[in-house]
Amino acid sequence: MLADRRLLLKVITMAPIGAGILGFLAAAFFHWNFLNRTHKPLAIKPPLVEPSTKPSPIVENTIKPLPSAYQSKVFMNVAVPTSQKVVALTFDDGPLGGPTEKILKILKDNNIKATFFLIGRNAQANPQLVKEIFAAGHVIGNHSWTHPYNKHTLAGSQAEIEKTSDVIASIIGVRPNLFRPPGGLMHTGLAEYAKSQKMGIALWSADSIDYRARNSPERLIRNIFREVKPGGIILMHDGGIRRTNTSQALPLLIKQLRAQSYKFVTLPELIAMDTKLPSKHIHIAHNKPKMVTTKTL
Ligand SMILES: [Zn+2]
C-alpha cells in the first residue's frame, strides 16, 4: 500500500512537469510549423496570375518610336547595305474579314512579318482583326479614316488621321507612327498633316496593281518583280474590295522572292537597316510611286 501511495505521489508531482514538457514540446512544434510556413512560402506560393485557357490577344509586339531621321520623312524605299536582300510586304485598306484573315494565315505559314496600313473606319468595324494583326507581330500603320482623294483642310486632314490613330490605339494600346496617304497622293493635305505630327510617310517602290481586280495572280507577281530591289517596299491590298488575286498570288510571290534569296521584314525593321542612319539626310528614290487613280474603296 505504501509503495502504491508513493507511486501515486510521484505521479502527482511528476504529472505537471511531464505536462509542462509535453506543452513545451507541442508549443515548439507548432511554433516551428508556423515559422516553417512563413519562411517557406515560395514553394507553395500560388501563381500571381490565374492560368487562363485563352491566350492574351496582344503579344509582345509594340510600336517603337521612329528614328528621328524618319520622322516627317517621305520614303519609297530604304537604302540598305548591298549585301542585304530584304523587302517589306505592305497591305493597305483593311482590315476586312476574309482577305485579311487569308493573308494573315499565309504570312503565319511562311513565318513572315509584314506591315498593314489600316483604314480607320475598317479598324473600328473589325477590332478583332486589328488585334489579330498586331498579336501576330505585324506592324500597323495609319491609312486615313475614309480613304479620301480630294483636298482637305487642316482640320479635315487632322480628323482623318487622328480619328484613325485613336481607334487603333483604343484596340492595340499604341498609336501608329507611319502614315500612307491614300493613293500615294501627297497634296490632299493628309500627308502634310502627318508630316507635321512627325509621322513617317511610307510610299512604295513596287506596286502589285492588285487593286485592279481583273489582274491575275501571275500578273501581280510580274508587276512586283519588274520593280523589286533590296530595300524595296511592296504594295498590296487586304481590303477595299473582296479581291482574291492578292491572296492567290502571295504564296507564289513569297516562294519566288525566297528563291532569289530575299528576306521579308517590317517597315520599321527595314528603316533600321538604312545605311544612312543616324544621318538626317532625306533619301528620295529616283522613281516616283505611281499615283493611284482607281478608287480602291
Ligand atoms: Zn489605300
The reply to whether 93 belongs to the active site is no
Distance CA(117)–CA(99), nearest Å, equals 14
Q: Is 92 known to be catalytic?
A: yes
For residues 232 and 203, is the Cβ–Cβ distance under 8 A? Answer: no
Q: Residue 143 C-alpha to ligand 1 middle, in angstroms?
A: 7
Please check the confidence at residue 89 and state whether its pLDDT lies above 60.
yes
**Which stretches does DSSP call E strand in the chain?**
74-75, 86-92, 115-118, 139-142, 178-179, 200-202, 206-207, 232-237, 263-265
User: CA 246 from chain center: how many Å?
Assistant: 21
Q: What average pLDDT does range 88-108 have in this prediction? A: 97
Ligand 1 geometric centre to CA of 243 (Å): 14
- Residue 143's identity, in one-letter code, is H
Task: Report how far ligand 1's centroid is from the alpha carbon of 282 (Å).
Answer: 24
Where residue 54 falls among pLDDT bands split at 50, 70, 90? low
Buried-exposed string 246-285: b where 16+ CB fall within 10 A, e elsewhere = bbbbbeebbeebeeeebebbbbbbbbbbbeebeeeeebeb
Secondary structure (3-state) at 225: helix
User: What separation in angstroms does the CA of 247 have from each of 93, 104, 147, 239?
Assistant: 14, 10, 22, 11
Q: In whole angstroms, what is the distance from residue 117 CA to residue 93 CA? A: 6
Cis before 278? omega within 30: yes
Question: Which among 187, 116, 97 is positioned nearest to 148, based on CA atoms?
Answer: 187
User: What pLDDT digit, counting tens, does each position of 58-79 carry?
Assistant: 557 999 999 999 999 999 999 9
Task: Report the pLDDT value the prediction gives residue 82, as an integer from 0 to 100.
Answer: 86
Gap between the Cα atoms of 76 and 205, Å rounded: 5
Residue 28 Cα to ligand 1 midpoint, Å, equals 77
Average pLDDT, integer, range 224-245: 93
Q: Which residues contact 206 (CB under 8 A, 6 or more apart)?
A: 87, 223, 224, 226, 227, 228, 229, 232, 233, 234, 235
pLDDT band at 131 (very low <50, low <70, confident <90, very high): very high
Q: What percent of the chain has pLDDT over 70?
A: 73
Residue 24: predicted pLDDT: 47
Q: Please indicate whether residue 14 or residue 288 has the higher confidence score (pLDDT).
A: 14
Catalytic residue among 138, 143, 152, 237: 237
Start-to-end CA span in the chain (Å): 115
* Ligand 1 midpoint to CA 33 (Å): 69
